[in-house]
Amino acid sequence: MASITPPNRLDERLYRTVFDHSLDGVMITVPDGRILAANPAACTILGASEADICKQGRQGFSDEADPRWQSALEERRRGGQAQAVLPMIRRDGTPFFAEVSSSMFAAENGEERSCVIFRDVTERVQLEQQLRATNETTQLLLAGASTERVLTAIARSARKLADASEAGVVTVGDEQGSVVVAAGDGSRLPRLVGRWYPPRGGTLLAGVMASRRSLVVHDLTAAAAEEDGRDLAVGPAMIVPIVGGGTAFGNLLVGSERGHRAYECADLAVIELLAQSDGVALTLGQARAKAERTTLLEEQSRIAADLHDSVLQQLFVVGPGLQAVSSMAPVLVTDRIRDSVQRLDDVIAEIRRTIFGLHGPELGRDLAKAIHAIIDEYAEHLGVLADRAHRRSA
């Protein structure tokens, strides 16, 4: 006669099988933060043994002061369950994002317990952050924001993505091989914005800018050639070129305080992707700005041509006509006509200056020659006005 396994023992075996073989991390916890059990997947994700996980409790793998954790714990306390994407910390100190779901239940003795299921979603969160950062840069460029504001936004996004203490954008200086701190975000780097560093053999920033190859540094302060760099007290750092459309815009510098974990290939890949996206956005922004300048110059040329070919010609004809009338008018009327002619002459001069301004510096460089050319063109219509203009420009 076949033996029959009691239902409760069968259920326990099934639950244990699910617990041990789940691809997601599963933990049985107490609401106060104690951890009673952790499955193999949880141990793999957290990089710790079950004994270490239970010993450290929730505070060993999370920052309970973080508002996101506080909100999730409060939601579970009120409703018995909660779901959220939360920051967590592996045993070696590496931060990551986890999609966490947790629900409360009563143990056999009536005590409150909770089942916590979590999975690593760091790549998804970082991709979302990169998309938001790139969208912010694009929106600023489309809105015509200043270069400093755009680059500061890039630095701020990089610092947040890398969970770093400092981030900045360094661009090419006027002298070959020199660099300029164009933007910064953090506690120390912003004070160096605008600082220019001359060419120096072996400078890390200049080297990355020239080679267009990223660099990971274990201790930037120790490697810094300038006193300013040493004052930053930055340990692990990443220097990534910002390139788009074949144009090198500068370097993206991201660093953390000494004692922070060393940056790895995964960290570098995130910042490189951000730099590439920003490089494309900056290239498109440059193209848009160039197109707008071209459109503006074309419109200015059209307005200048209209003023020259239409308005000025009519004014030049009106002047001699008024002078001809003044010779046949009484003295009082003649004085008023002469005053009107003078004002008309001033208007012509103002319009001419406007035309030269619309044409830009190319015509402005030889302003006197251009004035004489216009006067000569209309000399036969100007009469006295022409003589007066020649005397003024002499």
List pLDDT tens digits, range 175-226: 776 788 888 898 888 888 888 877 665 577 778 878 888 989 888 877 776 6
**CA-wise closest residue to 100 among 112, 114, 118:** 118
Please tell me the distance from the alpha carbon of residue 252 to that of residue 158, in angstroms, as a whole number.
Answer: 8
Task: Return the minimum-mean-pLDDT range out of 79-83, 87-91, 291-295.
Answer: 291-295
Q: What angle do CA 174, 177, 181 make, to 5 degrees?
A: 65
Instruction: Say what the pLDDT of residue 364 is.
Output: 42
Q: What is the distance between the alpha carbons of residues 320 and 41, in angstroms, rounded to a whole number?
A: 97
Sorted by where each begins, the domain ranges of the chain are 7-120, 125-290, 296-393
Q: Average pLDDT in the 45-65 region?
A: 93
What type of residue is 313? Q
pTM for the whole structure: 0.55
Mean pLDDT of the chain: 77
Domains 7-120 and 125-290 share a fold: yes
- Which position has the higher pLDDT, 293 or 63? 63
Please give the Cα distance from 209 to 199 (Å, whole number): 12
Q: Please name which of 47, 32, 30 lies closest in space to residue 89, comparing C-alpha atoms.
A: 47
> Can you tell me the distance from the alpha carbon of 263 to that of 201, in angstroms, rounded to the nearest whole number?
25
Share of the chain above pLDDT 70, in %: 66
Classified by CATH at the fold level, domain 7-120 comes out as Beta-Lactamase (3.30.450)
CA angle, corner 158, sides to 153 and 163, nearest 5? Answer: 130
**CB atoms closer than 10 angstroms to residue 293:** 10
> Which strand (E) or helix (H) includes residue 67?
helix 67-79
87-102 pLDDT per residue, tens: 999 998 888 999 999 9
The one-letter amino acid at 318: V
CATH of 125-290, one of 3.30.450.40, 2.60.420.10, 3.40.50.1820, 3.30.50.10: 3.30.450.40
Structure tokens at 71: 């909100």
Retrieve residue 383's tokens.
């009469």
Q: Longest C-alpha distance within the chain, in Å?
A: 142
- Residue 379's pLDDT is what? 46
Q: 40-54, 173-187, 259-273, 378-392: which range is least confident on average? A: 378-392
CB 122 within 8 A of CB 96: yes
d(CA 147, CA 78): 48
Rounded to the nearest 10 degrees, what angle do helices 312-326 and 331-359 cross at?
160
Using alpha carbons, list the distances in angstroms from residue 62 to 22, 70, 261. 22, 11, 17
- Average pLDDT of span 26-43: 95
Contact 260, 238 (CB under 8 A): no
Average the pLDDT over 289-298 and give the result: 67
Structure-model confidence comparison of residues 377 and 132, the more confident one:
132
- Close Cβ partners of 173 (under 8 Å, ≥ 6 residues apart): 179, 180, 196, 197, 198
CA distance 353 to 296: 18
Task: Tell me how long the chain is.
Answer: 394
The amino acid sitting at 237 is A
Strands 247-257 vs 179-186: parallel, antiparallel or unpaired: unpaired
pLDDT recorded at residue 378: 44
Query: DSSP letter at 11?
Result: H
